[in-house]
Every structure is written in structure tokens, then in C-alpha cells.
């Protein structure tokens, strides 16, 4: 487990948009919990907590099969789960083209408590600094655009039956892509827990963000569609955020300060490298 706990960047503006986004996601998740036990919970669970809904489907199918459950292949079980979900939702409600706005709204929904906490931690750590550097309008514009672009990337990667997509991970990956452009030489404090090794370490943001991007890229290339995580949405988010960050620097809308990646490429970087 490797999670960020701090970034030593201190831009001139406060990240007010980040605070609003964090608060909005938290409030919406609280609303999700409030409706989960109401009549029609199956519909809400399928929309807002797909992981739990799938687990319920798996248990029900195995109970119906009885001793024969061990003879069912993973492909047949997955098909049964999809059929179970189709009973809870009308087929058109799985079709994003009937509700294209869900490409954006899905970025404000989360599957469970750990999902929302993990996403909001990354958004809080990196978003405040990026928001302060990019400005409120540019930051919000990139965030929302990346939410839509990453959702669509997930659909394209998943093929004809992408299923549901929940979470702000794609948009937050874009925030980290912008952080790679703006703050590569700044240090990220991370809590690292691998087997018996548990401590706080500091590394350059350049290497930390490349690690998270590389992890998602490996997942896309080798684990692909079987992981249950929308890794292609993450990869697309990084690409959108990095391109936007470099574009803002190159256009002068965000002034290079000698610590950013563009200054490094131009040989005008302040201080040492990425060690």
C-alpha cells in the first residue's frame, strides 16, 4: 500500500474549487447511503454500488445452483450476474447513449466508503496545489472535461458491454497529470506499507506520479478488463491532465516558475534534478 499524505507545493492561491469538489462528492456519497435502504434499493444499488450488487447476484446464483455451483465456469457465472442485474434495471438504463450526461455525473458517485475516501484523499493532496497554480476556472474546466473523457475512454476500452462506471478516479488522475507538469521537482510524502516495511518516505513528485501512472498502465496492458477497476479511465485522465498542464504552461496562461516540467525541458529549471 502506497498512499500520499502531503505535497510540499504552496501556490499563491488557495484551492477553493478542490474544497468544493471534495465536499460535493462526500455529500453525494452520504445521499447514496441514505437511499440505499429505501424501497427500490436494488435499483439504487445497481446504479451506485455495483460491487455490492454483483456480490449479491453471485451469492444468489450459487445458492440456486447448489452443489453444481463449483462446476460453473467464470464466464458462465459472469453471464448470470449480468442477467441478474438486467432484472433489476431496464436494459436501456445500462446504455449511456440514452443518458449521455452520465459520462460526467458518474464522476461524483462512489461504490463504497473506501472508494470515496481513497479518491478524496488523492484529490485533496494534489488538487489544492494544482487548483492554486492553474486558477479556479482552468482547474474546474480540466477536471470536468477529464471526467467525461475518461468515462468515454473506459467505454471504448471495455467494448460493447462496458457495464457501470463509478468514481472520480479519471478526473483525479487528470489532476495528478497536471501536478506532474506543474510540480515535478516538489516532494510528495507517502505512507508506504509493504509486508513488514511501514514508514513515511519522501520522493520527487515526478517519480511518485510516474509510479501511479505506470501501475495503471501495467494494469491496462496485462490485467485488462478482468480487474474490476476502470484503469483505462485512469490512464486517459493522466493523459488529459498532463496535456492540459503542459498546454497551460506553454501558452503562458500559467507562468513557468523554474520548478515546472516545461522549464526543465527548456533548460531553465531551478535547483537540481529529479533525484
In the chain, what are the domain boundaries? Answer: 2-265
The predicted structure's pLDDT at residue 219: 84
Residue numbers of the chain with a pLDDT score lower than 50: 38-46, 48, 160-161
The predicted structure's pLDDT at residue 95: 61
The predicted structure's pLDDT at residue 274: 64
- Encode pLDDT of 251-266 as tens digits: 999 999 888 898 888 8
Which cell goes with 168?
A: 472520480
Q: What is the DSSP string of the chain?
A: -EEEEEE----SS--HHHHHHHHHHHHHHHHHHHHTTSTTHHHHHHHH-HHHHHHHHHHHHHHHHGGGGGGS-HHHHHHHHHHHHHHHS-GGGG-GGGSTTHHHHGGG--SSHHHHHHHHHHHHHHHHHHHHHH-HHHHHHHHHHHHHHHHHHHHHHHTT-------SHHHHHHHHHHHHHH-TTSEEEEEEEETTEEEEEEEEHHHHHHHHHHHHHHIIIIIGGGSSS-HHHHHHHHHHHHHHHHHHHHHTSS---SSSHHHHHTT---S----
The predicted structure's pLDDT at residue 247: 96
- Encode pLDDT of 51-88 as tens digits: 666 777 778 777 877 777 777 777 777 777 777 766 66
Query: φ, ψ for residue 83 (rounded to 5)?
Result: -65, -40
The predicted structure's pLDDT at residue 45: 47
Cβ atoms 205, 213 nearer than 8 A? no
The predicted structure's pLDDT at residue 203: 92
The CATH number of the domain covering residues in 2-265: 1.20.1540.10
The predicted structure's pLDDT at residue 87: 66
The predicted structure's pLDDT at residue 11: 84
Gyration radius (Cα) of the chain, Å = 21
Strands (E) in 195-261, as ranges, are: 197-204
The predicted structure's pLDDT at residue 98: 67
The predicted structure's pLDDT at residue 238: 96
Amino acid at each position: 500500500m502506497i498512499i500520499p499524505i502531503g505535497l510540499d507545493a504552496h501556490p499563491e492561491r488557495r484551492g477553493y474549487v478542490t474544497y468544493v469538489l471534495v465536499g460535493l462528492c462526500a455529500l453525494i456519497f452520504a445521499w447514496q447511503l441514505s437511499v440505499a435502504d429505501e424501497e427500490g434499493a436494488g435499483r439504487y444499488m445497481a446504479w451506485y454500488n455495483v460491487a455490492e450488487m454483483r456480490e449479491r447476484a453471485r451469492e444468489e446464483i450459487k445458492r440456486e445452483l447448489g452443489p453444481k455451483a463449483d462446476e460453473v465456469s467464470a464466464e458462465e457465472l459472469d453471464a448470470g450476474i449480468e442477467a441478474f442485474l438486467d432484472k433489476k434495471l431496464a436494459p436501456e438504463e445500462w446504455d449511456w447513449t440514452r443518458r449521455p450526461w452520465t459520462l460526467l455525473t458518474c464522476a461524483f458517485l462512489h461504490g463504497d466508503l473506501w472508494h470515496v475516501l481513497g479518491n478524496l484523499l488523492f484529490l485533496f493532496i494534489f488538487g489544492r496545489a494544482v487548483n492554486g497554480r492553474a486558477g479556479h476556472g482552468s482547474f474546474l474546466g480540466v477536471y470536468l472535461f477529464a471526467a467525461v473523457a475518461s468515462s468515454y475512454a473506459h467505454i471504448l476500452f471495455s467494448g460493447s458491454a462496458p457495464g457501470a462506471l463509478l468514481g472520480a478516479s479519471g478526473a483525479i488522475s487528470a489532476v495528478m497529470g497536471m501536478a506532474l507538469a506543474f510540480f515535478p521537482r516538489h516532494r510528495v510524502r507517502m505512507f508506504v506499507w509493504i509486508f513488514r516495511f511501514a514508514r513515511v518516505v519522501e520522493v520527487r513528485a515526478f517519480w511518485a506520479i510516474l509510479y501511479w501512472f505506470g501501475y495503471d498502465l501495467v494494469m491496462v496492458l496485462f490485467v485488462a478488463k478482468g480487474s474490476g477497476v476502470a484503469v483505462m479511465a485512469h490512464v486517459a485522465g493522466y493523459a488529459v491532465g498532463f496535456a492540459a498542464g503542459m498546454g497551460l504552461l506553454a501558452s503562458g496562461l500559467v507562468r513557468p516558475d523554474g520548478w515546472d516540467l516545461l522549464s526543465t525541458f527548456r533548460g531553465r529549471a531551478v535547483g537540481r534534478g529529479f533525484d
